[in-house]
Chain A
Amino acid sequence: MILGRVTFGLLAVALFSGLALAPFWSAGRALESLETLNGATPWGFFLRGVHAFSAWGFLLGTLAHLGEVLWKRTESRLRPAVWWRSVALLPVAVLALLGGFLMRGDAEAQAALAVWREVSSSVPIAGRALAALLLGLPGADLAPVSLHHAGTFTLLAWLLTAEHGGTLLPDLRSTVLAALASFAAAGLFPVSLGPPVAPDGALLLGPWYLLGLQGALLDLPVAAGWLLPLALLLAVGLVRHADGRARAALLALAAAWGAGYLALTLRLLLAAR
Chain B
Amino acid sequence: MSSRRDFLGTAWAAAGVAAAAAGTAVLGRALSGSPEPERGVRLPAELLARAEKEGGLVHEGLHVRGPAASPVVLDLTCTHLRCRVAPVEGGGFSCPCHASRYDAEGRVTAGPASRPLARPRLSPDGAGFVARLS
Contacts and interface: CB of A to CB of B under 8 A. Distances in A.
Is any CB of A less than 8 Å from a CB of B in the complex?
yes
Interface of A: 107, 110-111, 114-115, 117-119, 126, 128-129, 132-133, 137-139, 198, 200-204, 214, 217-220, 222, 271
Interface of B: 24, 27-28, 31-32, 34, 36, 80-84, 86, 88, 94, 96-99, 111-112
Contact of A218 (B32, B36, B82, B111): B111
A111 B83 contact: yes
Given A126-B24, A137-B34, A137-B36, A114 B99 contact: no
B35 to A, nearest CB: 9
B24 A214 contact: no
A218 B98 CA distance: 5
Contacts of B32: 128
Q: Would you list the 3 A-B pairs with minimal beta carbon distance, nearest first?
A: A118-B81, A115-B81, A204-B96
Contacts of A111: 83-84, 96-97
Contact of A137 (B28, B31, B99): B31
Given A137-B34, A200-B88, A271-B99, A222 B94 contact: no
Contacts of A203: 96-97, 99
Given A198-B96, A201-B94, A219-B112, A115 B88 contact: no
Given A115-B83, A126-B24, A129-B28, A214 B36 contact: no
B97 A200 contact: no
A66 to B, nearest CB: 29
A111 B99 CA distance: 12
Nearest to B111: A218
Contact of A139 (B24, B36, B81, B83): B36
Contacts of A138: 36
Given A115-B81, A129-B27, A200 B86 contact: yes
A137 B39 CA distance: 14
B81 A204 contact: no
A128 to B, nearest CB: 7
Contacts of A200: 86, 88
A114 B97 contact: yes
Contacts of B96: 107, 111, 198, 202-204
29 contacts: A110-B84, A111-B83, A114-B81, A114-B83, A115-B82, A118-B80, A118-B81, A126-B24, A126-B28, A128-B31, A128-B32, A129-B24, A137-B31, A139-B36, A198-B84, A200-B86, A201-B94, A202-B96, A203-B96, A203-B99, A204-B83, A204-B97, A217-B81, A217-B98, A218-B111, A219-B112, A220-B112, A222-B80, A222-B81
Contacts of B82: 114-115, 117-118
A201 B95 CA distance: 8
Contacts of A222: 80-81
Nearest to A126: B24
A271 B24 CA distance: 41
Nearest to A119: B81
A201 B81 CA distance: 17
B10 to A, nearest CB: 17
A137 B27 CA distance: 13
A115 B82 CA distance: 7
A107 B80 CA distance: 18
